[in-house]
Amino acid sequence: MNFFIVAANFIRCKTAKSFHTGDKILSSLATSRSLLLFNIFVTYLPPLHDIWVSKTIQAMSTMAVVTTFLHSTNLWFTTVLCVFYCVKITNYNWKFFIFLKMRMSTLFPRFLLVSLLVSLSSSLPLGWCIYETQIQNPTNLTMENMTLPKVGLYENHQNMVLLFLVGSCPPFLIFLVADFLLLHSLWMHTRRMRNSGSSFRSQNLESHFRAVKSMSLFLVLQIIYFICSSVYFSGKVRSSRAEFWIISTVICSPPSQHSLYIISCNSELKKILFSIFHLLPFCSQEQEL
């Protein structure tokens, strides 16, 4: 789904010879989600798990930094998308909103770059503050009648969840504020239209109701994603591989459902998707000939 959004936006950009700001944000968000899913699949797939994770501090720290960076990037890009919708749709007369609305095409691509830098800066400390070696129970070596200390790898879950929350709470709070302002504006505008005598089934009123439902769903999925990610980084449910895959599936579900919803609500994306489905039988017939 996410790869399809990126490919479809690239095709539209190549055809129209222009890349709109909303398409840039959607493509960046879909790319970050694709990389997040790929990271979970590659890093924790049983055959590749022993290759990537050799139980050394360097390997585990690198994996923690990459995973946290992808989660943080996903949160920031989602926030940028919500702020973009808020600025584009609402009609608040605040100077800051007017400034953003006037310079949307130049500011929001820069917000994406700033989000990458902030995500990287908040993820790098995990490489230094999470894993450390710790002497465990001594190991008896019967061949030489010696007793040597056994060195193990210790994971500080308290520092991990603290650093994750420090890097993830700012974009999540900004997302909540932007989504609340957007929902409030849409709902108040819908009430004014209904009180002014507009038909309940008018196209404009129904479009506002769809926008309210869409952003409400967006809000619920993002809250679920943030809570599940916080539980994951707390280390409470990663004692076994089965528990890890369960929480990973729950974490990946909200972004995937939102991407699927974006495709279902975007007429141009649906047209490209249907055209691909129509081409598949034609290609199979050509191969048979």
Q: Could you tell me which CATH number the domain at 2-128+155-279 has?
A: 1.20.1070.10
**pLDDT of res. 148:** 45
Digit-coded pLDDT (tens) for 199-253: 555 555 666 677 777 888 888 888 888 888 888 777 666 556 666 677 777 777 8
Distance CA 2, CA 5 (A): 5
Burial of 203 by CB count in 10 Å (0-12 exposed, 13-18 middle, 19+ buried)? exposed
Which two structure tokens, joined as six digits, stand for 5? 């959004």
pLDDT tens digits for 64-74?
Answer: 788 889 989 99
Residue 245 to residue 18: CA distance in whole angstroms: 40
Structural contact between residues 123 and 72, judged by C-beta atoms closer than 8 angstroms: yes
Strands (E) across the chain are located at: 131-135, 139-141, 146-148, 151-155
| Listed residue (69, 68, 63, 72) closest to 43, CA to CA | 63
pLDDT band at 143 (very low <50, low <70, confident <90, very high): very low
Segment of 3-12, 155-164, 255-264 carrying the highest mean pLDDT: 255-264
Q: How far apart are CA 257 and CA 261, in angstroms?
A: 6
Name the 3-class secondary structure at 146. Answer: strand
Structure-token pair, residue 164: 């994750």
Burial class (CB in 10 A: 0-12, 13-18, 19+), 164: buried
Q: Which range (6-10, 255-259, 269-273) has the least confidence?
A: 269-273
Is the pLDDT at 8 greater than 70? The verdict is yes
Per-residue pLDDT tens digits for 51-104: 555 556 676 777 778 888 998 999 999 999 989 988 888 878 888 888 888 888
State what percent of residues in the chain have pLDDT above 70.
70
Q: How far apart are CA 39 and CA 97, in angstroms?
A: 36
Could you tell me the residue ranges of all domains in the chain? 2-128+155-279
- Half-sphere exposure of residue 65, counting CA atoms within 13 Å on the CB side? 15
8 Å CB contact between 59 and 108: no
**Residues forming beta bridges with residue 132, ordered by sequence position:** 154
Residue 20 DSSP label = -
State the pLDDT at residue 276.
67
The answer to whether residues 101 and 185 touch, using CB atoms and an 8 Å cutoff, is no
Tell me the C-alpha distance between 25 and 255, whole Å.
15
- % the chain with pLDDT above 90: 10
Rounded CA-CA distance 137/149 in Å is: 7
pLDDT digits (tens, 9 = 90+) for 106-138: 899 899 999 999 999 988 887 777 666 555 555
Q: How far apart are CA 14 and CA 71, in angstroms?
A: 30
